Structure 1
């Protein structure tokens, strides 16, 4: 999905006539102005973000609606809006099966992880790790979050800006600076409330942009023709091959990616901090469930959008013909060609892409401010910062981090592909080990601090090894055929070396050519990376815990362990559930022996049910 950034200085799009009109610029900058205005409003009203509770957690007074949309918008970034249609165009509709992974991810996040973290009344997710294990595990997890979030924010800003610039004429750095400055402004001024309400606005803009592409695409090509073209090209084919070397299968998307989304919704500060803005646990859980239909809808629409774009370009592939330099430019090119005649509509869709960047970056800046203050600064001091100074510190931190993001985007533009590969690897390889670390703590009471550190370091080392190996030794992947047989004569004459179609090798042929030994390890689908990280962390962590003497379960605070049996075996009487608690006393000593008449009566009633 980051391929558009590999051609930073190669945007051969002279044949594209349509460019941004005045109406498009007005719509685009108006959307940015509205976001900035929300920051001004919350920065000048109420408590004016004078406390860290207000700045970081919105005083825990937010309603379900804006928090739901903010959680949704935080990880439905601009890369999703332009990258997912490109994924379908290139690799077919298979990615739509990722919707199956959302259900177990949200189920686990809602009933296993969130209740433990929420009831501890912590602000940073990584505080849990010091309570459960030790400070070293807390610092490792916090460092992973800081590093991967900073890199990801830079990619989210720069990549889409470059893709948009290539086909609209909107200057890349104008887009980068505008998005970054507006983000820094309303995040540092309006705090969490501004972030939540701007995310709500931006979610609406993103949906409007996605709908506009679908509606206009079906108007041009026709509903039946879009599906016919997709079927004839093989883009509706489904793979149920369990081979982990195949890029996309039902199994890897439904199972492998379920762990990725569990990491996002369970053990990521950006999402957890939004849940904390809700006054009750039940409402916080509801926001996660309300995310489920939103995720499914946007995934389906974006995937179908890729089929619409293919139907439009089926006879003259823009990438093969040289009209664009990277597949991520397909979506912006389609917007300018198919919707360019409607004043302001291209501006709306580019605003939707920008909104994806804004929501991701603003959420990241606010969460990073919290982690740096709570997990890095406060532990280094004998006493925490005063409320007044802490509030000022979080504002300044948001500004500084925003400027660093701009610096990172400049670094990406200079260095090119290598830094993008590094950013991609960091994001994909950190989520698994961190999820494994939290799983050790929350599910396995026998795991101790030494085992946790050994587990997460081992997992980070192995997943980074596989990730970097796959990045610099990319596996073979099947791309569906494209054609330039219908290209205008002037396009064909401009490049005499053009071929009429891409490779016709089958998936089976490509897998047969796959490498063996260590090279085969690098060919594992990226969808399994998070699961690999979790398993490595659990295996090494539990072994190390056993070797180092395990954990004193009797003295363990039961609030730090999830009573999974209460959810899985909810119909069992309490006295039987205790056998599933692994020695942790979740509901009081009366479960083991009690002389209380009332409690015995309660158990007798339960047994009769």
Structure 2
């Protein structure tokens, strides 16, 4: 696409990159930085700004491309997952969010130390770091490949240049610059999606009824829900009703307790009630975006299979959007789309790096060296960890490109395997707020045993077996979850809880939502 980009396209791209870099500089000059400012923006952000930041952080370049590809290849079945999640957001807020505002908190895992002990906090922090570091490197690599096919950019150059620019504004401005950049990036993402959809309306003659009719004839709507096979419990299915229910329930609850990427942005809100607003607003903002992206997939399917457009032979469905952008959008719209993709990438990477720094410093460094708290060394550690976090993501992505296809595949699989550890963290938080009987030692061993199981099962039931024998990927984390739910009550019979839990469970939370004053540990009656 390098030959397609006009001077206007390049001007849009350069203006965007200069703008987000400037946000870091401005944030550094306008606000005196200490750890609270650098990591939490002094807890002063407006609720709607926080909602946009959460949206931009969770919306990656892969989402921009893969959702239309899913609709093109398989239809709208998975859209029900994205739309259904909002039904369980109130439950996630009620169960978990209030505990992070009961006292000044920097990370989700501080709660685990209060509820259990410091070892539980540390092991949960390490698991989060591994999940997010591999994820961020994988997102970077996948985005670089997308930019290579769209714009002709060498992946190595994309990773290094975009990575260093993202690292620069994160390094200088901290989370305030990251959140403000996320607001700009959200607007650009909306604009890019709207531009693509409008052009698709034009080339299909604004024939929405014809598009939907054609999609229905080719099983690209919700016809899957009318098929009896969709309701069978088969571990080898790519997707079925039971997996849909599992994901719809699991993701919002999981996000609201153990994903520091989201929790940290919510903690920058001025109050718990503003964080609740931000949470609902984020999901409400996501709904039209998801609908538009799935609509893009359906319009592409109609245009290239019945509406007169022609595709190169053998082009897979997840690359059709890229071909449409290069073939059908007039300048400077290709530049706008490139900027939207860059915005999705940079917001994800910046958010991940910022959350990694917070967890490394607050949950690992300060728990080992509490004497550093409140000293000038805090900012030095935060900046050094920012460099290491961003550098780690860049190096992971570069390794996937430089070393070879076999290693890239292995690392992408590792990303998937580590993602199966999210439910193990979720179980620790779930028992934390629901049970007064579950002890720290029981949860610690549950995280260790459940984590091992969820690392081994994917290898045994997915990567080490023929394709026709593989479990559906979402099922791979189920054994660890079932074990994680069963072990804590059982192990707590041998290691009962002796810790005072005032203000740390739903039953002991004060009416004002705050923790009770510290009291000595005592056995439960």
**So what's the TM-score if we normalise by structure 2?**
0.89
Matched, 1:77 2:60: yes
> Which of 102, 108, 114 does residue 119 from structure 1 map onto?
102
Distance change >3 Å, CA 560–CA 396, structure 1 → 2: same
Matched, 1:36 2:21: yes
Distance change >3 Å, CA 471–CA 300, structure 1 → 2: farther
* Structure 1 residue 186 displacement after superposition: 0.7
Report what 2:277 is aligned to.
286
* Structure 1 residue 585 displacement after superposition: 10
Following superposition of structure 1 onto structure 2, how do residues 374-413 of structure 1 map, counting pairs within 5 Å?
A: 374-381=362-369, 383-413=371-401
Report what 2:156 is aligned to.
173
Matched, 1:310 2:301: yes
Which protein, 1 or 2, shows the higher relative CO under an 8 Å CA cutoff with sep ≥ 6?
2
> Which of 193, 217, 220 does residue 232 from structure 1 map onto?
217
* Structure 1 residue 392 displacement after superposition: 2.0
Q: CA RMSD in A?
A: 2.6
* Structure 1 residue 58 displacement after superposition: 0.3
Report what 1:161 is aligned to.
144
* Structure 1 residue 141 displacement after superposition: 0.9
Distance change >3 Å, CA 371–CA 106, structure 1 → 2: same
Q: Is the 8 A contact 1:97 1:254 kept in 2?
A: no
Matched, 1:19 2:4: yes
* Structure 1 residue 194 displacement after superposition: 0.5
- Residues paired across the two proteins, number: 501
Matched, 1:436 2:424: no
* Structure 1 residue 475 displacement after superposition: 8.2
Report what 1:262 is aligned to.
253
Distance change >3 Å, CA 398–CA 346, structure 1 → 2: same
Following superposition of structure 1 onto structure 2, how do residues 562-581 of structure 1 map, counting pairs within 5 Å?
A: 562-563=506-507
* Structure 1 residue 27 displacement after superposition: 1.5
* Structure 1 residue 531 displacement after superposition: 5.6
* Structure 1 residue 330 displacement after superposition: 2.6
> 1: distance between equivalents of 2:216 and 2:266?
42
Q: Deviations over 1:4-40 (max 9, x none)?
A: xxxxxxxxxxxx8963233222212222221111111
Deviates more, 1:190-199 or 1:413-422: 413-422
> 1: distance between equivalents of 2:245 and 2:186?
25
Report what 1:479 is aligned to.
none
> 2: distance between equivalents of 1:347 and 1:382?
48
> 2: distance between equivalents of 1:248 and 1:196?
35
Q: Is the 8 A contact 2:423 2:477 kept in 1?
A: yes
Report what 2:522 is aligned to.
none
Q: Deviations over 1:168-223 (max 9, x none)?
A: 32332332223211110111101111011100110111111111111111221232
Q: Deviations over 1:270-319 (max 9, x none)?
A: 11111111121111111111112112222211112111222233268858
Report what 1:594 is aligned to.
none
Distance change >3 Å, CA 443–CA 113, structure 1 → 2: same
Report what 2:356 is aligned to.
368
Report what 2:483 is aligned to.
536
Deviates more, 1:180-189 or 1:29-38: 29-38
Report what 1:209 is aligned to.
192
> Which of 400, 406, 410 does residue 418 from structure 1 map onto?
410
Q: Is the 8 A contact 2:2 2:153 kept in 1?
A: no
Q: Which runs of 5+ in 2 are unaligned?
A: 520-525
Report what 2:322 is aligned to.
332
Distance change >3 Å, CA 242–CA 285, structure 1 → 2: farther
Distance change >3 Å, CA 204–CA 530, structure 1 → 2: farther
Q: Is the 8 A contact 1:421 1:471 kept in 2?
A: no
* Structure 1 residue 436 displacement after superposition: 0.8
Distance change >3 Å, CA 526–CA 104, structure 1 → 2: farther
* Structure 1 residue 533 displacement after superposition: 4.1
> 2: distance between equivalents of 1:234 and 1:364?
37
Q: Is the 8 A contact 1:126 1:375 kept in 2?
A: yes
Distance change >3 Å, CA 549–CA 64, structure 1 → 2: same
Q: Is the 8 A contact 2:35 2:382 kept in 1?
A: yes
Q: Is the 8 A contact 1:259 1:530 kept in 2?
A: no
> 1: distance between equivalents of 2:448 and 2:300?
43
